[in-house]
Structure 1
Amino acid sequence: MNCRIGCGACCIAPSISSPIPGMPQGKPAGVRCLQLTEDNKCKLFGDDRRPRVCKSLTPSLEMCGTDESYAFDYWKTLESLTTN
């Protein structure tokens, strides 16, 4: 499966605790990553500065579903399970 063009759920919905260029403290859940372009593509894709957690993500039907609302709900659920 490939990333759905225009989605960006995995770069917005989850918190990322590791440093990201421009976001040295990482990013909170629900905050758009500064490295996400206007059309929701990662500026750091293929760059060594991309956080390990981001590099480890692989699009899947479980994570992405069939539309971006599913993907956002998936990430919000994961976030709530890991912060409680």
Structure 2
Amino acid sequence: MDCRPHCAACCIAPSISSPIPGMPQGKPAGVPCVQLTAELRCALFGRPERPAVCGSLRPSSAMCGESREQAMRWLGHLEETTLPR
């Protein structure tokens, strides 16, 4: 499966705890990554500076759903259910 054009849900919805160039403390859930371009593409795609967690996210029908909105909801729910208590 390929990424949905102009989606970027995986670059916005989840938190990232590892450093990102321009975001040394990572990013909170719901905040767009600083490396997200105006075209909603990752400026670090394929580069060694890209966090490993980003490279591990692969598009799937479960994660991406039928729309960007569904992807945002699914990833948001995953974020909530995996928070340390």
Q: TM-score, normalised by structure 1?
A: 0.97
Return the offset for 1:52: 0.3
- What secondary structure does 2:72 align onto? helix
Residues 1:47 and 2:47 are matched in the alignment = yes
Q: 1-side partners of 2:39 and 2:6: how far apart? A: 6
Partner of 1:82: 82
Identity of aligned residues (%): 60
Once the 2 structures are TM-superposed, how far is the Cα of residue 28 of structure 1 from its aligned partner? 0.1
TM-score (norm 2): 0.96
Per-residue deviation, 1:6: 0.3
Letter in 1 for 2:15: S
Deviating 4+ runs (over 3 angstroms):
none
Count how many residue pairs are aligned between Structure 1 and Structure 2: 84
Aligned to 1:66: 66
Q: How does 1:18-33 map to 2 (within 5 A)?
A: 18-33=18-33
| Unmatched runs of 5 consecutive residues or more in structure 1 | none
Instruction: Map Cα deviations across residues 51-73 of structure 1 (whole Å, 9 max, x no partner).
Output: 00001111000100111000000
**Alpha-carbon deviation of 1:50?**
0.2
Paired AA for residue 50 in structure 1: R
RMSD: 0.7
CA distance in 1, matches of 2:53, 2:43: 15
Does residue 37 of structure 1 match 2:37?
yes
AA of the residue aligned to 1:75: L
